[in-house]
Amino acid sequence: MLKVDQLNQFYGESHTLWDLNLHVPEGQVTVLMGRNGVGKTTLLQCIMGLLKVRDGAIAYQDQNLVNVDAEKRANLGIGYVPQGRQIFPLLTVEENLLIGLPARRDKVRSIPPFIFELFPVLKQMLKRRGGNLSGGQQQQLAIGRALVLDPKLLILDEPTEGIQPNIVQEIGDIIRKLNQEIGLTVLLVEQKLPFARRVGDRFCLLDRGRQVAQGEMGKLDEELIQRYLTV
């Protein structure tokens, strides 16, 4: 579904992504892994058009995304939950969710009921400002906002960061449910190895801006963990 080929990106004169390749198969959960500062978030921002790439290709359903404006990528069926959630704190839960509707291709203009089936707490707090929610509730809101647009590919940047354990468990359950029951393709950045193994079908491992290994999650062995993930 998503293929990154020989991608290079620079921050000023600093070369941050080096000939990077990534394959995200349709209907699977792919986990992007690596220590802090290796380029994981940078790669996601390139995929979403938030950062310009120097050269290389990003193909989504065989369409080259490199020259597609960032604001148009949601219309193609890509949902994005950025690091730090980035909800609108002064808007209500309902208003945050409604923001995603214009990107829907079927022109639906009401919040789909399944959002509240996945996240019952959001229905209870529809009129509460996003900034007044707990960290875990804000993360649920951020995921709900991305799902409102009916994506075919969901991209999440560290969805468990700073979240209490019971919500981490819930988010993992929801990712697997979305993947297994409706076939949603997922790409996520994740630092927690047990969580990554629980939800992921595949992994892609980065080190210093380069892809050093990728494959089925079962092939993420102890040697790779010690070399590229252990602090």
Query: Mind listing the pLDDT tens digit for each residue in 85-111?
Result: 889 999 999 999 999 898 888 888 899
Q: How many other CB atoms are found less than 10 A from the CB of residue 180?
A: 11
Query: Mind listing the pLDDT tens digit for each residue in 33-67?
Result: 999 999 999 999 999 999 988 899 999 999 999 98
Angle at 192 between CA 18 and CA 216, to 5 degrees: 60
pLDDT value of position 225: 95
DSSP track, 89-148: TTSBHHHHHHTTGGG-TT---S--HHHHHH-HHHHHTTTSBGGGS-HHHHHHHHHHHHHH
pLDDT of 231 strictly over 80: no
Beta-bridge partners for 22: 4
Query: Mind listing the pLDDT tens digit for each residue in 140-196?
Result: 999 999 999 999 999 999 999 988 898 899 999 999 999 999 999 999 999 899 999
Element (H, E) at 20: strand 14-24
**Residue given tokens 């980035």 in the structure block:** 86
pLDDT above 90: percentage of residues in the chain: 83
Using alpha carbons, select from 201, 204, 211, 208 the residue that is nearest to residue 189: 204
Average model confidence (pLDDT) across the chain:
94
Q: For residue 227, what is the DSSP state?
A: H
In the sheet with 63-64, reading across from the earlier edge strand, the strands are: 14-24, 2-11, 55-60, 63-64
pLDDT value of position 102: 87
Q: For residue 25, what is the DSSP state?
A: -
For 2-228, CATH number?
A: 3.40.50.300
Query: Mind listing the pLDDT tens digit for each residue in 171-181?
Result: 999 999 999 99
| Phi, psi dihedral angles at 193 (to 5 degrees) | -60, -45
| Phi, psi dihedral angles at 52 (to 5 degrees) | -75, 145
pTM exceeding 0.85: yes
pLDDT value of position 188: 97
Are the C-beta atoms of 152 and 183 separated by less than 8 Å?
Answer: no
* Overall average pLDDT of the 25-40 stretch: 96
Query: Mind listing the pLDDT tens digit for each residue in 71-84?
Result: 899 989 999 999 98
Are the C-beta atoms of 90 and 131 separated by less than 8 Å?
Answer: yes
CA–CA gap between residue 65 and residue 41 (Å, rounded): 17
